[in-house]
Chains A and B, each alone.
Chain A
């Protein structure tokens, strides 16, 4: 059973994203869903095509930035939107599969294009109740 959830945080010019989960990989996957949710409604994206990505960073907060920016890069260069993320984190290395489809403006009504994940409000931590939280502001 999954306990993951995501939300958007208020930021004057842009938008913050937060993923929460019972594990670090789940929180990262939820943060990615939150980012896709900035662009379009997740229900509109059919997760039929798969892209594999990897990244590595010395700290978990940098790993979150690298992970989100890798998704931004894949969205931009493959012209795709993603609505499902399978994430494994081993040490400081992340491997993931992204599931989505080609962007279709009529279907997806994409609100914005994401420029990149920022260090603003960047936080990766485990709360007292054991829940993992991964968040930052993204520039749109």
Chain B
């Protein structure tokens, strides 16, 4: 994008003053190189978001922002229900509550090196991945309702994981006020056999080791040391979330005019929070959040079983679980006054700073772990929310690298087998049902996650704590 479009506030803060129909200014956080390379559509989309009723302070885009649907991916916006604020299905996305969780393993990179192949095979055998894969759990109507209300808390009650896991999950593993009655039969049907599955596309389960610690005090609080091995799981609410997104996007797009909302782009589909459709979506979307939390909890259980088979007696406590496609009610101070806002994060991670009441006691002084997934074969990062996070972007940070190249280009450029062989030579084992899927997810098809993370750190969105390198990747 042309830098002349922006008023530069500091090295990493680029403001678009309110103009035309924009109700508030927009801000993109990025360094100069990232913003120059950023898709022009991000400008258009973030300014479109700024036109929505009830938006508070600014529309934001994170350093990994790219062309999304209505909202840019990497978009953050908060709305005040008392000011006619809206909730947007487009602002949450199709894969509701897609997110990352990270587990300690208590093992070191040297331990894994001894059993890398059997571990990869065991994980691939136990964690269903790829199109059409089904889990071992098949939910009837009543169990489905319980799962949609209870999230990871439901999963723990069913024997997947432990109560200690719950305090390391946003909302303690259960999004309150879910309303399963708002979840359609079609959405339920799509989920019936998909509990405990990774899905496909950019979703993965990765065994990683910490190759660098940047901030020793916080790393200690997070119990992370160089050489430690962790497992990161990236997936979402599966077919149920996709179907809810599909249905409400259409409903909100076609009903916006009846709420007096003129949409600059139909994909910005939204409804007033205080409307029947708005409340209905909130009830369904919160159910999908719980579905995603239950799903990641079940996969955690399967991961622990796989580790136990290869490293008997191993324990895998949860470091943290974050969602990056959500809308959550949160209290934020704006103009010196704390208000209840509906914060949309579309491809953006919550990043509560030190002292936040939502954080478990063991993490409260350090700030919330912010888990940033790389792409297959590249680094991932763990960051922490900072004291400035709230003032910067309602306590939000980036979520990943973002694609640099389309799937079509990637498929033309690489062969899945060649990528798997190349990565194996670098000590990274890939297990995937689809060679074409591996080609489309080639590491070089993504932007440099390190540049995105550095920009988030320099902009004060979150602070770099540790870098992770992959050893085994199960790819959907």
A103 touches B132 (CB 8 A): yes
Which residue in A103, A113, A137, A139 is a CB contact (below 8 Å) of B199? Answer: A113
Q: Mark B245-262, 1 if CB is under 8 A from A, else 0.
A: 110011001100000000
Complex-state Cα separation, A110 to B439, whole angstroms: 12
Q: Mark A59-103, 1 if CB is under 8 A from B, else 0.
A: 000100110010011001101000000000000000000000001
B435 touches A10 (CB 8 A): no
> Shortest CB–CB separation between residue A78 and chain B, in angstroms?
10
Closest B-chain residue to A140, C-beta based?
B201
Q: B342 contacts which chain A residues (CB < 8 A)?
A: none
B328 sits at the interface (CB 8 A) = no
Complex-state Cα separation, A116 to B132, whole angstroms: 15
Q: How many residues of A contact B (CB 8 A)?
A: 38
Q: A76 contacts which chain B residues (CB < 8 A)?
A: 190, 239, 242
Complex-state Cα separation, A75 to B411, whole angstroms: 23
B189 sits at the interface (CB 8 A) = yes
Which residue in A8, A119, A140 is a CB contact (below 8 Å) of B266? Answer: A119
B67 touches A12 (CB 8 A): yes
Q: B406 contacts which chain A residues (CB < 8 A)?
A: 10-12, 15
A73 touches B186 (CB 8 A): yes
B69 touches A139 (CB 8 A): yes
B131 sits at the interface (CB 8 A) = yes
Q: Kindly identify, within residues 389 to 407 of chain B, every residue whose CB is under 8 Å from any CB belonging to chain A.
A: 402-403, 406-407
Q: B132 contacts which chain A residues (CB < 8 A)?
A: 79, 103, 105, 110
A116 touches B436 (CB 8 A): no
Q: Kindly identify, within residues 29 to 76 of chain A, every residue whose CB is under 8 Å from any CB belonging to chain B.
A: 38-40, 62, 65-66, 69, 72-73, 76
Complex-state Cα separation, A40 to B134, whole angstroms: 19
> Shortest CB–CB separation between residue A35 and chain B, in angstroms?
13
B407 touches A112 (CB 8 A): yes
B388 sits at the interface (CB 8 A) = no
A11 touches B67 (CB 8 A): yes
B68 sits at the interface (CB 8 A) = yes
Which residue in A13, A72, A113 is a CB contact (below 8 Å) of B67? Answer: A13
Known contacts A10-B409, A11-B406, A112-B407; decide if A119 and B69 are in contact (CB<8 Å): yes
Known contacts A119-B249, A139-B69, A139-B94; decide if A73 and B437 are in contact (CB<8 Å): no
Complex-state Cα separation, A13 to B69, whole angstroms: 10
Complex-state Cα separation, A113 to B299, whole angstroms: 19
Q: A66 contacts which chain B residues (CB < 8 A)?
A: 250
Complex-state Cα separation, A109 to B133, whole angstroms: 12
Closest A-chain residue to B73, C-beta based?
A13
Closest B-chain residue to A65, C-beta based?
B250
Complex-state Cα separation, A119 to B267, whole angstroms: 5
Known contacts A109-B435, A119-B266; decide if A12 and B66 are in contact (CB<8 Å): yes
Known contacts A103-B132, A119-B269; decide if A15 and B407 are in contact (CB<8 Å): yes
The 10 A-B pairs at the shortest CB distance, nearest first, are namely: A110-B131, A103-B132, A116-B246, A115-B242, A105-B433, A115-B94, A111-B436, A113-B200, A119-B266, A111-B437
What are 17 pairs between A and B in contact, CB < 8 Å? Answer: A13-B66, A13-B402, A65-B250, A66-B250, A72-B246, A73-B190, A76-B190, A77-B190, A105-B130, A105-B132, A108-B131, A110-B434, A110-B436, A118-B94, A118-B267, A119-B69, A140-B201
Q: Measuring CB to CB, which residues of chain B are less than 8 angstroms from any residue of chain A?
A: 39, 41, 66-70, 73, 93-95, 130-134, 186, 189-190, 192, 199-201, 239, 242-243, 245-246, 249-250, 253-254, 265-267, 269, 402-403, 406-409, 411, 433-437, 439-440, 476
